[in-house]
Structure 1
Amino acid sequence: MTTTRLLLASALALCGSAVLAQDVVRMGTEGAYPPFNFINDQGEVDGFEVELGNELCARAQLTCQWVTNEWDSIIPNLVSGNYDTILAGMSITDERDAVIDFTQEYFPNVPSAYVALSDGVDVTGGVVAAQTNTIQAAHVAETGATLVEFATPEETVAAVRNGEADAVFADRDFLAPIVEASGGQLVYVGEPVPIGQGVGLGLRESDTELKAKFDTAIAAMKEDGSLNALLSKWFDMDAPTY
């Protein structure tokens, strides 16, 4: 997130209201980041975070509905009141935490990875694609590689396939099924890179009561093993668990 965006989001924070004054908690997601969140064949939001969010709402005795929003404006539109939470594969970072608040992480911090058409690609000196306003894009910008940013994660992979980029840098859990389905066309390059502080549920800083409710529900799911069951369902056998 740029400095300008941070300032905009901070200003919009003044417009936020306590969510529990409302009858419905609006759960914001991107709907374009499988298996975390996506739109299924029935045109409905689906994925790990949707199933998780529905369970958290049930445990917190909240009535919730899902709202989709493009990634690039997902934080400003939370702060301005278009929805009340973000469950969108969003890594917790100090920069984001200065604008919004986060629950405890519900997805452990796992390494990001580079994927290319061949294993000889120079990921520090070549052209690397990443989704805009992500921790991966920020990392690539610091490596010396030429960063090309795209609005959606699918576009970053397409950029590698069509020659616009030498490699893509993204969450390994997003890339894993794509690499497997490519039949050897796409390969991992270099070593995994640990960045971020895990994935958390984002809220407006004013919604302390709502945060507490979700924190309690996440902690309970970790304790009883149901969060691990969801992680194993939606990710591969090597998925991190609690």
Structure 2
Amino acid sequence: MKKIILGAAALAMTATLAMADGHAKTIRMGTEGAYAPYNFLNDAGEVDGFERDVGDELCKRAELTCEWVTNDWDSIIPNLTSGNYDTIIAGMSITDERDEVIDFTQDYFPPSASAYVAKSADADLTGGIVAAQTSTIQSAYIAESGATLLEFATYDETIAAVMSGEADAVFADKDALLPTVEESGGELVVAGDDVPLGGGVGMGLRESDGELRAKFDAAITSMKEDGSLNELIVKWFGEGAATY
């Protein structure tokens, strides 16, 4: 799934699960809100999608009070470590680079493929211009591929670059691309072969928040064991999606 780390993040702030007066702390769930079907803003301006469903259920099982906040992708890790929210639940692939700065829960979405999408199946994927979202595992891959990397802050901008002819193709999570292809009415097609990247999608937390990570890990395990996580994967990604 997505995404690589942006340089050095700020020092982690110590977070506890209870306030000084003994009342439970509200856990702030940070997401991008711009990467359907993982996460997006619905017509009411509320966080929606696969990760909203998963996150709400995890909070319920962990007996936590949670609220959702959005943050631009390119600063999502620094704003976690500086204390602006308590988790990242935003289609973030577990990578060694990120794990040096933050901690991850176990994956709640299994490893899956990245793919190219273009206006033509014959698009030049190795020597042409390929768009990718900045600070992602996909952009890092393209930078080493021989193609010319054209980076954008958001996923929608990468698609727009292909539609306008600014880029020959876009490279992103296949799970995000397939609905875009379907909605394009035939203007976009999958090009080339799938590329396996990343180690599954996990929740990111500050390294100081081991207790909170353990609570979410236990909740993820319970959702895997009773099949409810697979049900949500199929709901949002379809019958052909990878499941547990």
Q: So what's the TM-score if we normalise by structure 1?
A: 0.95
Q: Deviations over 1:153-212 (max 9, x none)?
A: 000000000011000000001000110111221111110000100000000000000000
1:6 aligns with 2:7: yes
Query: Match for 1:145 among 143, 147, 171?
Result: 147
Counterpart in the other structure of 1:46: 48
Give the secondary structure class of the aligned counterpart of 1:216.
helix
After TM superposition, give the deviation of residue 18 of structure 1 in Å: 2.0
**For 1:2 and 1:92, how far apart are their aligned partners in 2?**
9
Partner Cα distance (2:231, 2:4) in 1: 36
Q: Is the 8 A contact 1:30 1:38 kept in 2?
A: yes
SS in 2 for 1:227: helix
CA deviation after TM superposition for structure 1 residue 2, in Å: 8.6
- For the residue of structure 2 that corresponds to 1:123, the secondary structure is coil
Write out per-residue CA displacement over residues 7-50 of structure 1, whole angstroms, 9 at most, x where no aligned residue.
3x1x422xx11231341000000001111001001111111001
Partner of 1:17: 14
1:115-139, CA deviations, whole angstroms, 9 ceiling, x for partnerless residues? 0000111111100000000000000
Residue 196 of structure 2: aligned partner: 194
- Structure 2: distance between partners of 1:97 and 1:196: 12
Specify the code of the residue in structure 2 equivalent to 1:20.
L
Match of 2:230 in 1: 228
Structure 1 portions without partners, runs of 5+: none
The separation in 1 between residues aligned to 2:196 and 2:71, in whole angstroms, is 27
* Change beyond 3 A, Cα 1:81–1:45: same
Task: Write the distance in 2 (CA, Å) between the matches of 1:85 and 1:122.
Answer: 38
Q: Give 5+ residue unaligned stretches, structure 2.
A: 20-24
Using the size of structure 2 for normalisation, the TM-score is 0.95
- More helix by proportion, 1 or 2? 1
Runs of 4+ in 1 over 4 A off after TM superposition: none
Preserved contact between residue 38 and residue 47 of structure 1 (Cα < 8 Å): yes
Q: 1:161 to 1:35 in 2, by over 3 A?
A: same
Q: How many residues align?
A: 237
Between the aligned residues of both structures, percent identity stands at 69
Matches within 5 A, 1:1-242: 5-7=6-8, 9=9, 11-13=10-12, 16-22=13-19, 23-242=25-244
Contact 1:6 1:99 in 2 (8 A): no
How far apart are 1:225 and its partner, in Å? 0.1
What is the alpha-carbon distance in structure 2 between the residues aligned to residue 79 and residue 21 of structure 1? 18
SS in 1 for 2:233: helix
**Partner of residue 22, structure 2:** none
Q: Aligned equivalents of 2:167 and 2:7: distance in 1?
A: 28
Q: What is the CA RMSD across the aligned residues, in angstroms?
A: 1.3
- Structure 1 Cα separation of the partners of residues 18 and 160 of structure 2: 43
Tell whether the 8 Å contact from 1:19 to 1:25 is kept in structure 2 after alignment: no
**Aligned counterparts of 1:203 and 1:183: Cα–Cα separation in 2:** 39
Q: AA paired with 1:187?
A: V
2: distance between equivalents of 1:118 and 1:144? 20
| Contact 2:4–2:140 (8 Å) recurs in 1 | no
